[in-house]
Amino acid sequence: MRLILHILVVVIVTEVASYKILVYNSKVGYSNVNFYGNIADILVEAGHDVTSLLLQIEPSLFDGTLKSKKIHSAKLLRSGEADLFEKRNLDAIGPFYYGTHFTERFVLQCRGTLEEQGLIDRLRTEQFDVMIAENYDMCGIGLSHIIKPKALINGAASVPIGFMFQEFGLPKSWSSNFSPRNSHIDVHSFFSRLKNLYSEAIVHRIWYSSRTLVEKVFKEKYGSEFPSLTTIINSEPLTDFATPTLSRVVYVGGLGAKEPMRLEKEFDDILSLRSKTVLISFGSIVAAYKLKIELKNSIVKTVKQFPAVTFIWKYETPDDEFSTQGRSVAPNLHLVKWVPQNDLLADRSLTAFITHSGGGSTQETAMRGKPGLFIPCFGDQPRNAAMMERAGLGKVFDKHDVSNSEKFTTAVRDLLENQTSLLNSASAALRPQSHDMNWIEYNNLDILALAFMLIIALVMVFSKILVFVFRRLWKSKTKTE
């Protein structure tokens, strides 16, 4: 039996017998791992018997949970990595690669999980009351049909994107709701809304492959009668764009941000060096050490322009040749393999954050009241960056301009000199943009009218071509006779 439940119901209800809960944690990125790890730990604290099934899509990531029981799936060989920092989000062909890039990992890991010796039988035997699964990786949704928990929570560690709207039963406002690959929309502009629809078409095409290929894995193993996978949400209403929703879908913003801990001496010492400190991090999927050398050199050149400011850069190989050269050029630059991001953002000594705009990073930035320079790389990050800018929490910066040190320096200077206060535009975030749209804009009637005229024009041109070809053939036949 499948039910769409709200996680807080599970947390708040306190009965004598605790629930047995399975949390499907797809280790695809830090934000996902942290979100579902926090859910597992909160439920354990509430007295429930919680097991986390950890999918090793990115084995280097931490498990996210400290208190639940853990089951690790086997580590599998995965496909090659794409240069997500260089790819253009709205390129007509390139973005399709992102879908296959992540989908291949989902498919490989899902197939390996289903084939893992004894795992499925073990999960069935547990007879879970509730299973919480991530909608982004549909393997968990399919797995729920096999192990049959009493209830399924179909979750998302981000704002609703792609097919989530129809799968959660949410209304989709095509004219005013940001596509995840779009970092700007003017709802009164014809071309801006057209670009948003184009972006959404790309997102749906990519998501379609991530569902059909994973679904194929289940049908291959359990037969063609296996049902379709297409059958809560980690967002902060005070920063996100206001969109139509349902009572059964409840936003649990901030769940991905744990309570900050005291910083270790290493970071305390770094923060004490200068009056201002900026954190730079491009997340867990985009590896900083793999960025193009001209881009990395541009960052170092920019850092050098602010000798009175300390910069902490999450850089996975802090002892390589570039790191050594970078520190010699900019002594105020500290390259570290790992950073306690949430703890640093909560520290008063940290001034600002230069981030890739991941779901976890944007929420932590908002909760800790730090201004940000948001450089979206892929996925839902453009939309995340846009909502942060609209909420007055910083500015969006094009990732392709990072290699231009002059532009990047100007953006960093603006970040340092024009810090914004937390949620100073919260009222705007709670007001749907559709409220200010006229009837034509809201229903995209201008775009539909253009599409209709183009179709009519194409039909007319095609008809004329057919008539022309027919006449030529008829004349040719007449001459031959």
Model confidence pLDDT, tens digit, residues 369-421? 899 999 998 878 888 898 888 888 899 999 999 999 999 999 999 999 876 44
Cβ 336 vs Cβ 328: under 8 Å: no
Same domain, 277 and 401: yes
Least confident segment among 22-36, 72-86, 325-339: 72-86
State the average pLDDT for the chain. Answer: 82
Same domain, 422 and 449: no
* Structural domain contains residue 49: yes
| CATH code of the domain covering residue 384 | 3.40.50.2000
Q: Higher model confidence: residue 255 or residue 127?
A: 127
Same domain, 425 and 448: no
Same domain, 415 and 324: yes
* Structural domain contains residue 288: yes
* Structural domain contains residue 116: yes
Same domain, 309 and 364: yes
pLDDT recorded at residue 161: 75
Residue 474, both tokens: 């008829």
465 has pLDDT over 50:
yes
* Structural domain contains residue 242: no
Same domain, 326 and 462: no
What is the per-residue pLDDT across 80-116, written as a single tens digit (0 to 9) for each? 555 667 777 666 665 555 555 677 888 888 998 999 8
* Structural domain contains residue 39: yes
User: Of 158, 188, 222, which residue sits at a domain end?
Assistant: 222
Cα–Cα distance for residue pair 125/4, rounded to 1 Å: 23
Same domain, 196 and 287: no
* Structural domain contains residue 357: yes
Domain count, the chain: 3
Same domain, 308 and 200: no
What is the per-residue pLDDT across 260-269, written as a single tens digit (0 to 9) for each? 888 999 999 9
pLDDT recorded at residue 301: 96
Same domain, 87 and 184: yes
Q: pLDDT-based confidence at 240, cuts 50/70/90?
A: low
Same domain, 392 and 330: yes
Same domain, 273 and 349: yes
Cα–Cα distance for residue pair 463/176, rounded to 1 Å: 37
In the sheet with 151-155, reading across from the earlier edge strand, the strands are: 69-72, 49-55, 20-26, 130-134, 151-155
User: Of 187, 205, 222, which residue sits at a domain end?
Assistant: 222
Largest CA distance in the chain: 98
* Structural domain contains residue 260: no
219 has pLDDT over 80:
yes
User: Of 170, 205, 222, which residue sits at a domain end?
Assistant: 222
Same domain, 318 and 185: no
* Structural domain contains residue 232: no
For residue 338, what are the domain limits? 265-429
| CATH code of the domain covering residue 138 | 3.40.50
How far, CA to CA in Å, does 32 sit from each of 23, 171, 448?
A: 12, 24, 37
Chain centroid to CA 66: how far? Answer: 24
State the first-to-last Cα distance of the chain, in angstroms, to the nearest integer. Answer: 74
